[in-house]
Amino acid sequence: MRVAIITANTDIYKGTKANESGEAVKLVAEEAGLEVVFMRALPLDREVLSTVMKRMTDGKTADLILTTGGVSVGEKDLLPGVIENLTGNVLFHGIQVKPGMPTMLSMVKGTPVLSLSGNPFAVEALFEVLAGGYLTDKEASRYLQKNQMKALKQTFVKTGKMKRIVKGRCDESGVYLPQIQKNGQLKNGIGSNCLVIFPEGERTYAEGEVVRVIRI
């Protein structure tokens, strides 16, 4: 499957900021066996984004377009307008998952467009959780091998009603959750090798309870 990656961020386009979110989604896409045929940072400009995406969808450049940035609420929320310019259909905009609430899925001339926030961890997590439905059978089998059930090696108190994705560290005995920062990132960022998926609802998960993980 051919994938195009567009980062909508003016600072990254100008070279004054590293493209961490673009690199994050490129890494997980390639690890899933997808072919990245296009990757570019573009300014937060509705006409520029519309022009590039029109060229890609008209020419069937990719089987899936992944965008990062441009979907958060406020003045940077440009992607819905871009999809409107292209006479595409927004299937959903906003999900009850943390991190990644601004996520949007659209169809433009038969090409799915998955739009993720500019947060690097949210990009990685949401691609792993959502993009599996668009993989070919061969790629999907590799993706499914990464999905496992593991026993928690500690108690975890989940607050908030939304589904929660956090980083963890898996081994043969189970999954350990180091101290957690905002947006589910590890406090030291070292040693994580999986994403842990907690369903909607507030409750305490006991040590030994089995949870879903995705190896990364």
- The residues spanned by each domain of the chain are 2-144, 146-215
Q: What would the pLDDT profile of 104-151 be if each residue is shown by its tens digit? A: 999 999 999 999 988 888 888 888 777 665 565 555 666 666 788 999
List beta partners, residue 112: 107
What fold does the segment set 2-144 form as a domain? Molybdenum Cofactor Biosythetic Enzyme; Chain A (3.40.980)
DSSP-assigned letter for residue 132: G
Same fold, 2-144 and 146-215: no
Token code pair at residue 108 = 């433009």
pLDDT digits 0-9 by tens, 61-96: 999 999 998 887 664 678 888 998 898 999 998 888
* pLDDT for the residue numbered 188: 45
The pair of structure tokens assigned to 82 is: 């871009």
Q: Which CATH superfamily is domain 146-215 in?
A: MoeA, C-terminal, domain IV (2.40.340.10)
Residue 11 has pLDDT above 50, yes or no: yes
